[in-house]
Chains A and B, each alone.
Chain A
């Protein structure tokens, strides 16, 4: 009796199992394909953006009636005045130097402050101090960039910079650069801290056991061991600074000029694009098309930096193995 029942149970179970296997294989397939499809969405978007940039930039360089605009003159020209005068000039260098000036100021502020904050958080702060300091940094990371732009314009420039020197105008590279620096500070800080905390405790113990002070351990073991991660953090933060738009559009000014003087106003690549797309440039005019070429240049620059950051990060992952 028992044996018969067991056999029947086995048979029924087997039928159910076979049916179930069929359903399972089917749902697994659907899940896999939908995930693939969603992944492809972001790949396609990237490809589409690049395609539009290349297409429109090509249109800019081959536009009828503007034979003087070539890739070479665009990349090496030192005058950028697409909207003024009878003869527009499209030399991107003032926009590039404006971008780099603001980025350099931001980096000069955010890199040392961010790294030292990361060192404090990772090596010195007690868990509770680290907890609330990290929340404070997260709040900083959540501030909309337009607020930073506003802050640069209404606080940094009039209350910090202009009292120092009368040469600072309302719009200047310094104020915008400092605001961008504050904006990228949480990125520098949290990524650097991650890489410092990833340094194995056994290395700290080894250094302490040789008679190191806390500062010795930090400066001679932890920071060197986490250095490639820290450098990757710098690169990613600088990439973010180069692409920052709202702060510079508000606070850096609108005059594209080839200068290294931080008290002067400068125009960045991103700010120029804002000016074109928010302004009343005719949709098929050369100045409208020029913004695509500028975007292409900006994209190449940030892509190169992201790539460099990825290479450095990869090296750092292998370091403890």
Chain B
């Protein structure tokens, strides 16, 4: 069973590279991520079973499902963070704008610049607010001081944090509240100009008010980035996503427009999960 979220006839030709999304026929967003028969293991334990899923560019895709269903593993293959885990392997096809993400010879440093990640728990570096945002740009390019200041400001504006921190950029990032720290981590990811932003339960450690501000931010950021978000919060998935994909026991059960998926799911397991009967 394939879960292609768009008309198969518009499937993008492969072997595209570079950072510009391939133009697609009018009215259909170009494809950012494509998975075909993607399976993944940690050691001998199979966590993903033959996933077929396409994710459109400049859209928000939410991955939902009970704990251990493989959605975080999927996310970690998209920026190859699984490389740091011994015994992690995958087969099938996983590509970002035609770039084969399972290629052993892939330059993961460059990939991670193109695919930013925001973690479950805010993890600002114990450095100043400015140095946190400037961390990525300093790794990848040589900026003049004024350029860097401008980039930091723009990134903080993009994550809706600028007004709150503009007078204390030299203060430690750890002095910020949890919600502010998470927006700082988003700014930090944005500052390296990624194409895709991965978010692994970005609001699970935050209070409702901070959660609302992050959700609003996600809606705005999709204009410039493809966003893939893992969440346990189903109302959140339905609020922020353009596409929701439901996973269970390593399989993609169903995916599609959140309004449909949450109100009239095709599959019984999806219905049980979204109505709170399990998980």
**Chain A residues packing against B (C-beta within 8 Å):** 200, 202-203, 205-213, 216, 220-221, 224-225, 319-321
What 0/1 readout, one digit per residue, does chain B (93-121) give for beta carbons within 8 Å of chain A? 00000000000000001111100110101
Residues of chain A with a CB closer than 8 A to B116's CB = 209-210
Judge if B126 is at the interface, Cβ distance under 8 Å: yes
Q: Give 18 CB contacts A-B under 8 Å.
A: A200-B123, A206-B124, A206-B185, A206-B188, A208-B81, A209-B116, A210-B116, A210-B136, A210-B139, A210-B192, A211-B111, A211-B112, A213-B109, A216-B139, A224-B126, A224-B127, A225-B126, A321-B174
Minimum distance in angstroms from B193 CB to a CB of chain A: 11
**In the complex, what distance in Å separates the CA atom of A220 from the CA atom of B126?**
11
**In the complex, what distance in Å separates the CA atom of A209 from the CA atom of B198?**
10
Residues of chain B with a CB closer than 8 A to A212's CB = 109, 112, 139
B112 contacts A206, C-beta separation under 8 Å: no
Residues of chain A with a CB closer than 8 A to B140's CB = 211
**In the complex, what distance in Å separates the CA atom of A320 from the CA atom of B136?**
21
**In the complex, what distance in Å separates the CA atom of A238 from the CA atom of B113?**
42
Main secondary structure of the interface of A (DSSP, over half): helix
Residue of B nearest to A213 (CB): B109
**In the complex, what distance in Å separates the CA atom of A305 from the CA atom of B63?**
54
Residues of chain B with a CB closer than 8 A to A200's CB = 123
Residues of chain B with a CB closer than 8 A to A320's CB = 126, 174
A206 contacts B139, C-beta separation under 8 Å: no
B112 contacts A208, C-beta separation under 8 Å: yes
**Chain B residues packing against A (C-beta within 8 Å):** 79, 81, 84, 109-113, 116-117, 119, 121, 123-127, 135-136, 139-140, 174, 185, 188-189, 192
**In the complex, what distance in Å separates the CA atom of A205 from the CA atom of B136?**
13
Residues of chain B with a CB closer than 8 A to A225's CB = 125-126
The 9 closest A-B pairs by CB, nearest first: A211-B113, A209-B117, A202-B123, A210-B136, A211-B112, A206-B123, A211-B109, A225-B126, A319-B126
A209 contacts B125, C-beta separation under 8 Å: no
Contact check: which of B84, B124, B126, B135 meets A210 at CB < 8 Å?
B135
A sample of 4 more A-B contacts (CB under 8 A), given A203-B126, A224-B126, is: A208-B81, A211-B113, A211-B140, A224-B127
Given contacts A225-B126, A320-B126, contact A207 B135 (CB under 8 A): yes
Residues of chain B with a CB closer than 8 A to A213's CB = 109
Residue of B nearest to A225 (CB): B126
**In the complex, what distance in Å separates the CA atom of A202 from the CA atom of B189?**
15
Residue of A nearest to B140 (CB): A211
Residues of chain B with a CB closer than 8 A to A216's CB = 139
Residues of chain B with a CB closer than 8 A to A221's CB = 125
**In the complex, what distance in Å separates the CA atom of A220 from the CA atom of B110?**
18
**In the complex, what distance in Å separates the CA atom of A211 from the CA atom of B81?**
10
B188 contacts A210, C-beta separation under 8 Å: yes
**In the complex, what distance in Å separates the CA atom of A202 from the CA atom of B124?**
9
Contact check: which of A210, A319, A321 meets B112 at CB < 8 Å?
A210
Minimum distance in angstroms from A237 CB to a CB of chain B: 24
Minimum distance in angstroms from B181 CB to a CB of chain A: 11
**In the complex, what distance in Å separates the CA atom of A134 from the CA atom of B199?**
38
Contact check: which of B123, B125, B139 meets A211 at CB < 8 Å?
B139
Residue of A nearest to B191 (CB): A210
B119 contacts A205, C-beta separation under 8 Å: yes
